[in-house]
Chains A and B, each alone.
Chain A
């Protein structure tokens, strides 16, 4: 069985547990194993890397080292975690001195990172399971959605290897759940949460997300689908603060959970700040209609 070390990240486990739950369900259904490790916070580039980059590297490397003896690559459900771990991996891989520095620190707690395992974003696993997802789909959700890639999955492309200007993966993936990715203005811009801006400069952060939300609203979408717990939190919490839009926010695994016929409550949709009730009602009607 294909197996990964599950790196849930702080938000998916401590703020939006629905994401953790949805991930476990979806991956179990797909027959992909997830193993838990004693991880800490990734730690985030905004606060940690900007305050003390060396500390950020060491803590990131500690996380990476956890599953190395089992040879499992850590899988993230948050582009922030992915960005951190991937950048740490990339920096260490290309700089033996830095690797030495990091391991001097890890040595103090009898840990070591050799660079053998590397982080992987969950969508990069899902893209190999398109057929299986289509098979498992019980409900054609039929939603018009705004997909949000999140910056750190795509960029910097010199590190991620992604097509940062014209990505298509999410359009394809939401299609598997019977949804349509609707284009909207500035579809790829940042949600405004990263870099410590959400906590450090909340006004700026809210302005950025406000513009983004209104662009989504103009496109008449039923939901926002993201692949990053941090963006998820920004979309959900800021709508509560701004009160100008009310678009339900779904992590991609929650979307697949719904398509696989899991009850919304089991995916903790009711705990989102932006109500998903209309969305759920739409799905219920759909199910009735279908049966």
Chain B
């Protein structure tokens, strides 16, 4: 079980927020969409449904807001925690397929971005091994890796279990 909104606020120093808006003003994403970092903190503190808002997923985790906050509110860390809670409560973002694909790829190959035959060819041409050395190089290691993932929540959330 993850943290509650209240615990997230406490750990992230959210109760120190003075609603100055320096976070939103710093946010490269909010300029292009409806994300208002300050508002997320306000909603969380007022007990509103912050985890249901889609803007929660517009944050690129660039940390600019956290860097600029004069009250040391850990805005970005909190957004990440709030997303965890959202996932737990079933509020996936709109394009919910993508993460599932990535998680599956991760499980099957150890890589979120798997190697395609084309790139494999390029690797050979530029003088690299056709396939990189990684967790999938050794079948035994990959099995172990999958065993590790079997015991983690992420495979459940990714729909693999």
Enumerate chain A interface residues (CB-CB to B < 8 A).
8, 10-11, 13-15, 17-18, 20-21, 24, 36-41, 43-56, 58-59, 62, 105-106, 108-111, 151-152, 155-157, 164-165, 186, 189-190, 192-197, 199-202, 204-205, 207-208, 211, 265-268, 271
Interface size class of B (residues with CB under 8 A): 35 or more
Contact A271 to B145, CB < 8 A, known contacts A11-B113, A50-B80: no
- Chain B min CB distance to A99 (Å): 16
Q: Report yes or no: B132 in contact with A8, Cβ–Cβ below 8 A.
A: yes
Give B residues with C-beta under 8 Å from A. Answer: 2, 28-29, 31-33, 57-64, 66-67, 76, 80-81, 83-84, 87, 93-95, 98-99, 102-103, 106, 110-116, 119, 122-123, 125-128, 132-135, 137-138, 141, 144-145, 147-149, 151-154, 157-158
A-side interface mostly: helix
Question: Once A and B bind, how many residue pairs between them come within 8 Å at the CB atom?
Answer: 210
Given A190-B29, A199-B99 in contact, is the A17-B122 Cβ separation under 8 Å? yes
Nearest-neighbor residue (CB-CB) of B140 within chain A: A38
Residue of B whose beta carbon sits closest to that of A91: B77
Complex interface: chain B residues within 8 A of A152 (CB): 61, 63
Contact check: which of B94, B127, B138, B154 meets A51 at CB < 8 Å?
Answer: B154
Residues of B within 8 A of A192 (CB): 28-29, 60
B144 touches A13 (CB 8 A): no
Alpha-carbon separation in the docked complex, A129 to B115 (Å): 32
- Minimum Cβ distance to chain A for residue B82 (Å): 9
Contact (Cβ within 8 A) A58 B63? no
> Is B103's CB under 8 angstroms from A50's CB?
no
The residue that B57 contacts in the complex, of A189, A196, A267, with Cβ under 8 A, is A196
New contact pairs (4) apart from A10-B111, A155-B62, CB-CB < 8 Å: A49-B84, A164-B67, A196-B98, A197-B58
